[in-house]
Structures are given as C-alpha cells and as structure tokens.
C-alpha cells in the first residue's frame, strides 16, 4: 500500500513536471512568434518605403514628376517614416500602429500615382531635377540598407525606429528644399550633409 502511494505521488509529480514544461514551451513559442511577427511587420514596412522612394525617383527620371511634386511626396514619406519610428521604438508594433502605417502608406501610394499621371511634367535633365533624383535615389538606398539590416538580424526594431526617425528628417529637408519647385546647389549640400550623417548612423547601428 505504501509502495503504491509512493508510485502515485511520483507519477503525479512527473505529470506536473511535464505539464509545466509544456506550458513553458508554449509561452516561449508564443513569445518567439510575436517577436517574429514584429520583425516581419518592420521588414514589410521598410520594403514598402524602398518601393515608394523608387517610384518617386522613376517619376523624376521619366519627367512624370517635377521637383515640386516630388517634394510634396517626400513630405508624405517623412510622415510615414515618423509613424514607423514611433511604432517600432518599444520593439513591438501593435495591430493599431500597423493599421495607421498601412493607411499612411496607401495614401502616399495613391498620391504618387496621381502626381505621376496628372498634367504637370518635369524636365529630368534640369539641374533641379537631377539634384532631386540623386537625393531620392539615396533615400531608397538608405531604406534598403535598413531593410537588409532587419532581415539579417543586424538591426533590432528599436534600432530601426531610431534610423527611421533619421529618414524622416532627410525626407522633410528634401520636401522643404523642393517646395518652391527648385532645388538649389546650397540646398542639396545641406541635404547631403544630413544624408551622410544618416549613412553613418546606419553603419554604426548595424555594426554595434
């Protein structure tokens, strides 16, 4: 009788141990799944940023966009970057935050299409357009570097948030420079200084 009771106690202890281990594994799995979902969201958002910037650059090169139109679009891109920065800074992107980012990106996408297909055109060979093209191309490149960093694990969501804040500053500077329809040499020099600082930040965050 005593032996049977001892066996029963041992069996119960083993069952509790197995159940506890199962619960721990389930919790860890949920945590990993949530982290993966956040990383995937950040990656998809950054991929779309790259795509939007490339569409603006293509519009400038084809003459579908002039400098003023591109500046307006860059102001919207700065807004998207700020939303991403705020959403990612605690390392977790909520459903509500993702919905706001998606809505802003959709508005920006529609505006890119509208501006590229209206009656206004630009001269892709003008000095202003050439400067804007170079700046927007670099934006696309910087966003691609952030995207690559997220995919490789070199960047966390928090680090990406810091970098997206920098992207917003660059896009806003481009928007301000192009507001009058002309990007001068001095204005581009100021933008390039911001872009250089941003490039160094990306390198630093990816290699810390």
14 plus 90 within the same structural domain: no
CA distance 61 to 124: 5
Q: Which domain holds residue 17?
A: 1-32
27 plus 115 within the same structural domain: no
Q: What is the dihedral sign for C-alpha 113, 114, 118, 123?
A: negative
**Residue 10: predicted pLDDT:** 60
**Residue 128: predicted pLDDT:** 97
50 plus 28 within the same structural domain: no
105 plus 26 within the same structural domain: no
Whole-prediction pTM value?
Answer: 0.82
4 plus 92 within the same structural domain: no
**pLDDT tens for residues 124-162?**
999 999 999 999 999 999 999 999 999 999 999 999 999
Integer angstrom CA distances of residue 39 from 57, 74, 103, 144 = 27, 25, 19, 15
**Residue 36: predicted pLDDT:** 53
Give counts: helices (H), strands (E), the chain.
6, 0
12 plus 105 within the same structural domain: no
**Residue 25: predicted pLDDT:** 44
3-state secondary structure of 90: coil
Domain count, the chain: 2
27 plus 69 within the same structural domain: no
Stated as kind and residue range, the H or E segment containing 207 is: none
Integer angstrom CA distances of residue 116 from 80, 120, 121, 178 = 20, 8, 8, 16
98 plus 16 within the same structural domain: no
Name residues of the chain where pLDDT drops below 70: 1-39
Contact 177, 186 (CB under 8 A): no
108 plus 159 within the same structural domain: yes
187 plus 96 within the same structural domain: yes
**pLDDT tens for residues 48-58?**
999 999 999 99
19 plus 116 within the same structural domain: no
131 plus 183 within the same structural domain: yes
């Amino acid at each position: 009788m005593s032996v049977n009771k001892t066996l029963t106690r041992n069996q119960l202890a083993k069952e509790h141990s197995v159940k506890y281990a199962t619960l721990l594994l389930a919790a860890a799995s949920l945590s990993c799944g949530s982290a993966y979902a956040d990383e995937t969201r950040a990656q998809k958002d950054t991929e779309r940023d790259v795509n939007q910037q490339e569409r603006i650059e293509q519009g400038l090169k084809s003459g579908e966009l002039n400098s003023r139109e591109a500046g307006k679009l860059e102001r919207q891109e700065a807004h998207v970057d700020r939303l991403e920065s705020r959403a990612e800074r605690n390392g977790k992107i909520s459903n509500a935050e993702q919905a706001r980012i998606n809505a802003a990106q959709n508005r920006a996408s529609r505006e890119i299409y509208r501006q590229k297909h209206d009656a206004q055109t630009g001269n892709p060979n003008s000095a202003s357009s050439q400067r804007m093209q170079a700046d927007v191309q670099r934006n696309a490149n910087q966003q691609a570097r952030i995207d690559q960093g997220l995919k490789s694990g070199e960047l966390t969501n928090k680090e990406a948030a810091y970098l997206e804040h920098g992207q917003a500053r660059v896009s806003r500077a481009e928007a301000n420079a192009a507001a009058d329809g002309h990007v001068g040499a001095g204005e581009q020099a100021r933008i390039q200084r911001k872009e250089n600082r941003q490039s160094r930040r990306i390198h630093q965050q990816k290699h810390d």
